[in-house]
Structure 1
Amino acid sequence: MITQQIVLISGALFGGLSIIFGAFGAHALKKILSEEQLNSFETGVKYQMYHAIVLLFIGSYFPTPNQFMSWAFFIGIILFSFSIYGLVLSSAKGKKMKFLGPITPLGGLLLVIGWTLLLFSFI
Structure 2
Amino acid sequence: MNDKFFIQAGALLGAVAVALGAFGAHALKAMLETSGRADTFETAVKYQFYHAIGLVLIGILLQNCAVNAERYYHWSGYAFLVGVVIFSGSLYTICFTGIRAFGAIAPIGGTLMIIGWVLLLLAAGKK
Deviates more, 1:33-42 or 1:82-91: 33-42
Q: Which digits, 9 at most, give the CA deviation of each residue in 1:64-101, with x for residues without a partner?
A: 5632111100100100111100011111xxxx262x22
TM-score normalised according to structure 2 size: 0.86
Output the aligned Cα RMSD. 1.4
- Note the 1:69-84 alignment, pairs <5 A: 69-84=76-91
Matched, 1:101 2:103: yes
Partner of 2:12: 13
Runs of 4+ aligned residues of structure 1 deviating over 4 Å after TM superposition are none
What are structure 1's unaligned runs of at least 5 residues?
none
Partner of 1:4: 3
What are structure 2's unaligned runs of at least 5 residues?
64-69
Q: Which digits, 9 at most, give the CA deviation of each residue in 1:12-60, with x for residues without a partner?
A: 0000000000011001111112274011100000000000000011101
Give the whole-Å Cα distance in 1 for the aligned partners of 2:83 and 2:110. Answer: 6
Secondary structure at the counterpart of residue 37 of structure 2: helix
Identity of aligned residues (%): 40
Equivalenced residue count is 117
